[in-house]
Structure 1
Amino acid sequence: MLPTRTILRQCPGSTNGSTLATLCGLPLMTIMTASFANPKNDAASIERRVQALLAEMTLAEKIGQMNQVNASDEDMPHHLREAIEAGRVGSVLNQVDVDTVNELQRIAVQESRLGIPLLVGRDVIHGFKTVMPIPLGQAATWNPDIVREGARVAAREAATAGINWTFAPMIDISRDPRWGRIAESLGEDPYLASQLAVAMVEGFQGDDLTDAGTIAATAKHFAGYGASESGRDYATVNIPENELRNVHLPPFKAAVDTGVVSLMAAFSDLDGVPATGNEFLLRDVLRDEWDFTGFVVSDWDSVRQLAIHGLTEDDRESVYQAVTAGVDMEMAGQSYVQHLESLIDEGRIDVATIDAMVANILRAKFRLGLFEKPYTDPRALPPIANEHALDTARQAALQSAVLLKNDHGVLPLSANKLKSVAVIGPLADAPYEQLGTWIFDGDRELSITPMHAIHSLVGHEVDVRYLRAMDNSRSRASEAFDEAEEIARDSDVVLLFLGEESILSGEAHSRADINLPGDQAELVRRVKAAGKPVIAIIQAGRPLTLTNIIDDVDAILFAWHPGTMGGPAIAELLFGVESPSGKLPVTFPRMVGQIPIYYSQKNTGKPPSPETVVLIDDIDAHAPQLSTGMTAYHLDAGFTPLFPFGYGLSYTEFDYQDIRTSAEEVGLGDTLTVSAELTNVGDFDAEEVVQLYVRDLVANVTRPVKELKGFRRLRLESGQTVTVNFELHTSDLAFFGRDMKLINEPGKFHAWIGGSSETQLRTEFRIIDGD
């Protein structure tokens, strides 16, 4: 039985989109059938509706649901209108005009045979109009609450444009800062990334996907994309299955357990099989092991790219491979539409397979409530860039900035002790660049730059002298350096805004050299020659190797690309309105040759130590081969990073004491508490991110030297002492063993609590077999 539908009537003179909330006093159109329209949104009800709708669909209509079309043209092309009307389109992407989106939905709902609404997708990665810090910067907050709220703000703003599906969060574990997309990641650690992945999914999707201002999330890129060779985007990924399961898959499992609507298959080749055609990933792990009931979308045109990889002979075989593997929807390609029906007719693909894949897509549409509410009324949602949105962006930027160096307590600055301050550098007043990568809709007019924020905060007390000095971060022109040195000499302190523009990070923007680009290091040296304190504020989309400037600056505040409200946040941190509290979510190498370098490495059979390491400049002439310690390190870099994971200074000092466990032994299946005393021994009230690390000393497979197992952001007044408790269940220490099964073993463990991964405050405990 075909559905009957109420036809939406427009008021005379109205447009098709902006008045769709109540046209001429009539409620929004809904599909009026018992099978398809139902106020209940529980899983059983949705499943009945999915199956009822599937029973009415032709094969062409089913394939249409698996087809996503790029609809970014300003004018709706006639062929798109026809395709939607014929039921040959299940989703569109990159259309952000709400009137156009509503018209597309109207065609789908009222003019197609079955009236199935569209999924409307868009990359809403770290904001829509109001932009949060880049995801890597958000990870530096170590604060799921602010990350969740940032995603919620982005969802509400995107929803005003009719968007109901975002291609975020990107939760690839990323341990190579050369990779441009590390900016979109949540860092190097699976535990931290998992916690923040959950927060982002919850922020986008809310408590109920049918609520206004919620959008479906996509966990991407499944899986291993962040481990591409030499940090080159789209490159081959070689990850042993044990590492894949223990390191790269946990954030995706966390997102699936949270109810993420969709996953996106990665571009990359994983162990010889590109993810878009990888049945092990998309069926064995995702469906069979994890019971995922959402849908999988390809990345942009990645179905066709299977042939370019060399996995298939042509587009037709690529479709067979992708469908067999489990890619439910093709993004921005026409391969499914062109070849899928003939593959079914030949019997190579079963209709039951297609039914299951289409059901995954329809299930998402029902979860979103699109059959009841296909249209968008922007007036029913909070206004763009409202006070709450801007405050959330400011708080995220405040908490994301990491103080890497602060010699002699040069920061914070006191405006009443300064007569003048020099603000120099290409990124001091760059409203677009501070938004960061992959922001298609971010409004640069909303950006408040550091230069303007500093003027606003202290300009009435201090003479603020601004010089751009370089056209951009990559410039080799040094004509303005003399003037920069002169301004620095005539000022009390120099604020030097360095880094890389947003174009230098993100998709397809990998770098082999991650020093400060252009002649920025020379600018630092020239300004330092003026003899005044130099504070470097660095905005970038990745960790940078800072060894060539670190000795020439007195302080470094690493602000990432901080988003719309980055300027006020930076100004408030520099002048002590707030203390920096960000912690690194990724290790900073001394030089590129150390990559990959990360805190949770394996021990090796010959681990280095300060006592065994001899650096290249200390090797005696004609020294014997065995004189350098024979351990795992680089002669010219040592074995330590420039800045470790979890590191970040404050304007106060925190003292950790008396680490202990609630028991020396705990049975499998039980919980113990790891505790320590934390005291703010400095003069500032400030926040600290307390971190718990664990090491499994003997296991079925070798385990990392440390693993993050808990963290907590706390605010302590000067002089305050608190007891910090972490509940640790033995299941938190489970891992995948030699047989690729999750195991929980008895044995001896070390535990640390501190302010970074290099904490030395340690205790130990033992897990015993309860039998």
Structure 2
Amino acid sequence: MTAAEKISQMRNSAPAIPRLNLSAYDWWSEGLHGLARNGQATVFPQAIGLAATWDRDLVRQVGDVVSTEARAKFNTVGKGDHGLYGGLNLFAPNINIFRDPRWGRGQETYGEDPYLTGKLAVAFIGGIQGSDPDHPKAIATAKHLAVHSGPESGRHGFDVDVSPYDLETTYLPAFRRAVVEGKVQSVMCAYNSIEGAPACGNDMLLQRHLRTAWGFTGFVASDCGAVDDMAHAHFFAATTAEASAKALRAGTDLDCGWEYGSLDEALKSGLINDSDLDLSLGRLFAARRRLGMDGSVDLYAAIGADQIHTRRAAQLALEAARESIVLLKNNGVLPLKTSARLAVIGPDADAVEVLEGNYHGVAVNPVTPLAGLRGLFPTVAYAQGAPLAENSYANIPETALQTGAGPGGAAGLVGEYFDNPTFSGNPRVVRVDRTLDFDLDRAAPAAGLEKAAYSVRWKGYFIPPAAGDYRMNVRLDQCWNCVHDQVRLFINEQPVEAGAVLHFDEKRPQRLRLEFAHVGADSGLRLQWMAPQGAQLDEAAAAIDGADAIVAFVGLSPDVEGEELGFDAPGFAGGDRTSLDLPAPQQKLLETAKASGKPVIVVLMSGGAVALNWAKAHADAVLTAWYPGEAGGTAIAETLSGRNNPSGRLPVTFYQSARDLPAFIDYRMAGRTYRYFNGTPLFPFGYGLSYSRFSYSGPSPDQTIQAGQPVRVKVTVANISARAGDEVAQVYMTPPADAGGLKRALIGFQRLHLAAGQSHEASFDLDPRDLSLVDAHGERAIEPGVYHLFIGGGQPGEAAGVEMTLTINGRMALKR
């Protein structure tokens, strides 16, 4: 290969080289909780929800489905060129530590604990890659190495001054486990710097730890645009060429972005030599060969389109959603009788985006909570009741849309779907759409349409719930640096500009027409409003009036928490949060519900913890359902009705207030997570209730061992209730004094299904490394002393369990 040809293959969008029979290939694909950004796929709970299952086997199965669907898309495109999001290298899992609940991207992680994160990462990687390292079904990419968890506003240029202790005890263990145990074949370096050296040019991370200490033999990809940040945000290099050279020589093999195009300049100026290119290219082409590309052995060529969203995959998505739900409070109101008349309220009750989270595929048959409850309960009244936050848009609910002006009109709008972008001819499909809330990312909105070009005209009536001012908006989920779709909204045949305020003097039907031409690459459409708060609360009160119980779906959404967002409202900033409180409009809605005197069940839907202090004190039941995936509504309805026995456990601490935490920008772990927090949490890490009750007995006797010897702990877990349920048995170690401030650490867990009255002897083989401690210099060793072990359904003092003492004699130093 010429130098130019070599350099062309070191960016994510690698062109074809016909003379070498080398196909074009884009290395950038996504698969965080389902194959993402490439049309319809199975959508599982967001990663934080998968973490709440504490179920390694389930997470492995999810990874297996993701890679199968990636292969199916790859194969059905054909054996030629594969573009963005169409490849077999998946930028997942995200195993950064969710150290602070204000971080908007924490939803993408497995929570705050390095042990739980590492074990689930190994499971997911195993599902993605399969059991044959020489022929992986797909390649997983553990990201973002390392010490990366916000704030989003400064992510491209912030420098972390992290102690050797925190680095070795918190920020690196999950990555080490992903490499050493999970055999991950790709790692992504982060945007930030560590002690002045950007992660993608950081020898300490990429050489000393990753390749030398952990023995990593795969390839390193940059986070997208991170090499450019090295020059223009960190000022670690004077030019893009110098930054590219430093990244390459540090061990970043693949540039997600355009920056490595400057390697020709770096080569000419002597900043790199040809052998530097060859080293990285060798790793990249070895990966392509293992994947079966370009004439290599392909063991997965038979996987076709029929393997996308199979019945098994859909059932797994439902099972994952069931297991992810965490019951936080129940005064006996749950489970509900299916004869109960329900009032369903809240901004998260009927929104597809709240099911899907971020980095997602297009759900085939998404079931919102409202739809799920309607499927199990015969009488369900609904009112949105509030927006997510002050001055924020919400999807216009079905209660404000009607096909006809009279009382006989159905909820929703009539949609005419054309198989061309110009509304020409007769519509291919005509149907009633209950709301206009569509995920259209590389997917057609109706059968018989091509995903590339179509148009839709919706007609009907907008019914304002009361007189007042209404701000109208059509949201397009816009692609980056591409042609955008065209949309026009008309009220009473008058065009309405985005964000326009319309005043209505009375509650009277207003003729509505929306025309949408899909001529670009935008990925979604939603019809939205800002409605008067009083009108929404009155609607909620009316829905509550005839109900036996109230189910309030409150929390957040990917519109307000996520990656580098533009959203700005009280409590929010650029995708992160400045407050953990439930936003004021939603809090007012809950108080309105409580004033009715009827039972209030709060279902939190979010990617991060919310300080539900009021709900804990005043609601009759509280659950958290995260962003639960395509089957979330079904799983929630089954849980509220008792068909599903809740069994999720918190993978993060729920704090009472952001004031209980150090500054968001402070990366020291002191005062953070259950391992170092000295306050009283609202709900602790590892916590979760069930409709069943469990007991623990018969622990192993106290043990004395020499440093480095294996330890086996046994305990009997019994279901002492009249119904079957799942328990998550957890093992915590409390170290001797002077362990760097570490209070306790999770070192084992098992998920157990127990029939009513059944008992089971659970056995835990504790890895000597997990019994080790780290000193102030970052050196890890098994230290002598008396250690206390707790085995139970949560942390010591928070759940039923048993204790034992482990005495370690001698000392054994461990390698990094």
TM bucket normalised to smaller = 0.7 to 0.9
Whole-Å separation in 1 of the counterparts to 2:642 and 2:389? 27
Partners of 2:669 and 2:234 in 1: CA distance: 32
1:66 aligned residue: 10
In structure 2, the residue matched to 1:317 is 242
Corresponding pairs, count = 632
Q: Does structure 2 conserve the Cα–Cα contact (< 8 Å) formed by 1:176 and 1:596?
A: no
> After superposition, what is the alpha-carbon deviation per residue over 1:352-404, rounded to whole angstroms, capped at 9, x for unaligned?
22221111111211221213369997863543221111111101110011111
Code of the residue aligned with 1:529 in structure 2: it is A
SS of the residue 2:700 aligns to: strand
| Aligned counterpart in structure 2 of residue 296 of structure 1, from 220, 236, 257 | 220
What are the ranges of 5 or more consecutive residues in structure 2 without an aligned counterpart?
A: 36-40, 75-86, 393-531, 565-574
Give the 3 Å change call, closer, same or farther, for CA 400–406 of structure 1 in structure 2.
Answer: same
8 A Cα contact 1:172 1:225, kept in partner: yes
Shift of 1:596: 5.3
Structure 1 segment 587-602 matched on structure 2, within 5 A: 587-595=653-661
| Equivalent residues of 2:245, 2:272 under 8 A apart | yes
**Residue 396, structure 1, aligned to residue 437, structure 2:** no
CA distance in 1, matches of 2:154, 2:654: 18
Is the 1:697–1:747 Cα contact (8 Å) retained in structure 2? Answer: yes
The CA distance in 2 between the partners of 1:478 and 1:215, in whole Å, is 52
8 A Cα contact 1:166 1:218, kept in partner = yes
User: Partner amino acid for 1:148?
Assistant: R
The alpha carbon displacement at 1:483 in A equals 2.8
Q: Give the 5 Å matches for 1:656-667.
A: 656-661=696-701, 663-667=702-706
| Range 294-303 or range 726-735, more displaced | 726-735
Aligned pair partner of 2:645 in 579, 593, 609? 579
Task: Tell me the equivalent position of 1:138.
Answer: 50
Output the CA distance in 1 between the equivalents of 2:92 and 2:808: 38
Shift of residue 739, structure 1, vs aligned partner:
4.5
How does 1:376-455 map onto structure 2 within 5 Å?
Answer: 380=304, 382-407=306-331, 409-416=332-339, 418=340, 420-439=341-360, 441-443=361-363, 445-455=364-374
**Residues 209 and 479 of structure 1: is their aligned pair in 2 closer, same or farther, counting only changes over 3 Å?**
farther
Query: Who is 2:561 aligned against?
Result: 505
- Is 1:673 aligned to residue 712 of structure 2? yes
What is the Cα deviation at residue 424 of structure 1?
1.4
* Alpha-carbon separation, structure 1, partners of 2:641 and 2:562: 31
Map 1:239-638 onto structure 2 (within 5 A). Answer: 239-257=162-180, 258-307=182-231, 308-333=233-258, 335-338=259-262, 340-372=263-295, 380=304, 382-407=306-331, 409-416=332-339, 418=340, 420-439=341-360, 441-443=361-363, 445-459=364-378, 463-470=379-386, 472=388, 475=392, 477-508=533-564, 509-595=575-661
Whether the aligned pair in 2 keeps the contact of 1:178 and 1:231 (CA below 8 Å) is no
Quick one: which amino acid aligns to residue 582 of structure 1? Answer: G
Residues 432, 210 of structure 1: CA spacing in aligned structure 2 closer, same or farther, 3 A cutoff?
farther
Report the CA distance between 1:119 and its aligned residue: 4.8
1:171 pairs with 2:84: no
Offset, 1:562: 0.2
Contact 1:298 1:331 in 2 (8 A): yes
- Report the alpha carbon displacement of residue 133 of structure 1 after superposing the two structures with TM: 0.7
SS in structure 1 of the partner of residue 762 of structure 2: strand
| Residues 1:217 and 2:140 are matched in the alignment | yes
Question: What SS does structure 2 have at the residue aligned with 1:763?
Answer: strand
Quote the Cα distance in structure 2 between the aligned partners of 1:364 and 1:691. Answer: 37
Larger deviation, residues 353-362 vs 756-765 = 756-765
Structure 1's unaligned 5+ residue stretches are 1-56, 70-88, 91-106, 609-631
Residue 480 of structure 1 aligns to a residue whose secondary structure is helix
Does residue 27 of structure 2 align to residue 115 of structure 1? no
Q: 1:429 to 1:694 in 2, by over 3 A?
A: same
Aligned partner of residue 42 in structure 2, secondary structure = coil
The separation in 2 between residues aligned to 1:765 and 1:209, in whole angstroms, is: 38
- Aligned residue in 2 for 1:764: 805
Q: Which amino acid letter does the alignment assign opposite residue 487 of structure 1?
A: A
Report the residue type matching 1:715 in the other structure: H
Between the aligned partners of 1:390 and 1:442, the Cα distance in structure 2 is 13
Given residue 343 of structure 1, which amino acid in structure 2 is its aligned partner? A
Q: Return the offset for 1:586.
A: 0.6
Letter in 2 for 1:429: D
Aligned residue in 2 for 1:19: none
Alpha-carbon distance between aligned partners in 2 of 1:161 and 1:743, rounded to the nearest angstrom: 47
TM-score by length of 1: 0.77
Kindly indicate which of the two structures has a greater share of residues assigned to helix. Answer: 1
**Equivalent-residue separation in structure 1 for 2:727 and 2:693 (angstroms):** 9
Deviations 1:239-287 (A, max 9, x none): 2122111211111111112221211110112222221221211112111
Q: Contact between 1:137 and 1:560, CA under 8 Å: does it hold in 2?
A: yes
- State the distance in 1 between where 2:691 and 2:775 align: 43
Q: How does 1:16-55 map to 2 (within 5 A)?
A: none
Show the counterpart of 1:207: 131
C-alpha deviations, 1:173-212, integer Å up to 9, x for none? 1111110110001111111000000011111111236769
Could you tell me which amino acid in structure 2 is paired with residue 442 of structure 1? Answer: V
In structure 2, what residue type is equivalent to 1:733?
L
The alpha-carbon deviation at position 289 of structure 1 amounts to 1.4
Instruction: Using the TM superposition, give the Cα deviation of residue 650 of structure 1 relative to its aligned residue in structure 2, in angstroms.
Output: 0.6
CA shift at 1:457, angstroms?
Answer: 2.0
Q: Please tell me whether the aligned partners of residues 381 and 544 of structure 2 are also in contact (alpha carbons under 8 angstroms).
A: no
Pair 1:735–1:362, CA change in 2 (3 A): farther
Q: Identify the residue that residue 523 of structure 2 maps to in structure 1.
A: none
Percent identity (aligned): 35
Which segment drifts farther, 395-404 or 247-256? 247-256
> What is the Cα deviation at residue 734 of structure 1?
2.4
Q: Please give the secondary structure, in 1, of the residue aligned with 2:638.
A: helix
Q: Is 2:47 the partner of 1:156?
A: no
CA deviation map 1:482-520 (0-9, x unaligned) = 231232232111111111122222212111122223500
> Could you say if the C-alpha distance between residues 112 and 538 of structure 1 is closer, same or farther in structure 2, counting changes exceeding 3 Å?
farther
Deviation digits for residues 610-664 of structure 1, max 9, x if unmatched? xxxxxxxxxxxxxxxxxxxxxx99xxxx811101100001112222234333x52
Q: Report the TM-score, using the length of structure 2 for normalisation.
A: 0.73
AA of the residue aligned to 1:640 = T
The residue type equivalent to 2:362 in the other structure is G
Contact 1:492 1:532 in 2 (8 A): yes
Look up the equivalent residue of 1:125 and give its one-letter code: L
Give 1:116 deviation, angstroms. 5.9
Equivalent in the alignment of 2:160: 237
Q: What is residue 99 of structure 1 aligned with on the other side? A: none
Residues 579 and 657, structure 2, Cα contact 8 Å, conserved in 1 = no
Q: Is the 8 A contact 2:139 2:184 kept in 1?
A: yes
Cα deviation 1:642-695 (Å, max 9, x = unaligned) = 01100001112222234333x521122322222333222223211010000012
Kept in 2, the 8 Å contact 1:138–1:147? The answer is yes
SS in 1 for 2:753: strand
Instruction: Using the TM superposition, give the Cα deviation of residue 432 of structure 1 relative to its aligned residue in structure 2, in angstroms.
Output: 2.7
Distance 1:478 1:205, change over 3 A: farther
| Contact 2:326–2:689 (Cα < 8 Å) also in 1 | yes
